[in-house]
Amino acid sequence: MIFMDRPVLAVDLGGTKIRSAVISQEGKIVAIDNRLTQAYKGFDHVINRLFDSIDTVLRKERMKTGEFSGIGIAIAGVLDSKNGILTSSPNLPDWKNVPLKKTMQDRLGLDTFLINDANAAALGEHRFGAGIGAQNLVYLTVSTGIGGGIIIDDKLYEGSTGSAGELGHMTIDADGPRCNCGNYGCLEALASGTAVAREAIERIKAGKISVLRDMKENIIDITAEDVAKAARQEDKLANEIIAIASYYLGIGLANIVNIFNPQVIVIGGGMSKMGGMLIEPAKKIVKQRAFKLPARTARIVRSRLGNESGIIGAAANVLNRQY
Ligand SMILES: [Zn+2]
């Protein structure tokens, strides 16, 4: 039973951080606890930290679990959301086939709903962020990897086995660089933060001149953030690399526009903080490559909820079940 007048207990379980929050019906974070996951210490340690984090946020607000409508958990990983099982997670290597829904419900006595973090972010932006009012929305997170979430007619599209929305793994260049997924030339291998850093490192190793050379003691430690910083200093190489990532991102977005004809494409993740220098040239590519009417219809915007999109989306996933 999901109660309409109660807040949601939301958790964002990541490889680096665990965050627990009390979130109001209006999608506002009332209280939050942040702590490191310490995944290297193993499953039991992380589960204990997860419950400690929830206890802390409950104490902060002097609330009991009975006062919530339910628990929403966003996790980077492969989920069997119907059965509430976390099948696997790239960031939590010893979490395999964990019945997390049951574990949470047994311990806290509250209905619990699991959702993939990119899907959560899509729901968060749709209900409370940059996509308010749009029935058809695609969310793209451009970070160390690229993930996505698809909302069709106000509902999250999960596919037949729950794995839909892997937009980072559409092939953009059949002969492109190897992707983490094993394929070649995926959007993720060409336009993610990892791809930007890789290009910078390779080009500097090949002798290109750039302020990036002096930004890190060791060239292999250069990050996408460094490249963005160098680009703002008018560094030619950094600007070239971002222009290439933006070009590939634009091709990916043109595919999304042609396939989904969305009202809004929301771009989140660390790379979106580059703002105009990444997104504006990508929009031009969309205009050139996608069909005219859907390209005109689709607003391409930055995430409004930023780093909170996942945890607010975990709450939206619970709130959306009230109707
Ligand atoms: Zn891939």
How much distance in Å is there from the Cα of 127 to the middle of ligand 1?
29
Residues lying with their CB under 5 A of ligand 1, a single-atom ion: 169, 179, 181, 183, 186
The tens digit of pLDDT for each residue in 13-50 reads 998 999 999 999 999 999 999 999 999 999 999 999 99
How much distance in Å is there from the Cα of 101 to the middle of ligand 1?
29
Cα separation, 16 vs 91, whole angstroms: 8
How much distance in Å is there from the Cα of 313 to the middle of ligand 1?
25
Q: How many helices (H) and strands (E) does the chain have?
A: 10, 12
What local confidence, expressed as pLDDT, does residue 323 receive?
A: 55
> Contact 30/21 with Cβ under 8 angstroms?
yes
The tens digit of pLDDT for each residue in 208-233 reads 999 999 999 999 999 999 999 999 99
> Contact 219/207 with Cβ under 8 angstroms?
no
How much distance in Å is there from the Cα of 70 to the middle of ligand 1?
34
How much distance in Å is there from the Cα of 146 to the middle of ligand 1?
9
pTM, two decimals, is 0.95
The tens digit of pLDDT for each residue in 242-279 reads 999 999 999 999 999 999 999 999 999 999 999 999 99
How much distance in Å is there from the Cα of 169 to the middle of ligand 1?
4
How much distance in Å is there from the Cα of 147 to the middle of ligand 1?
10
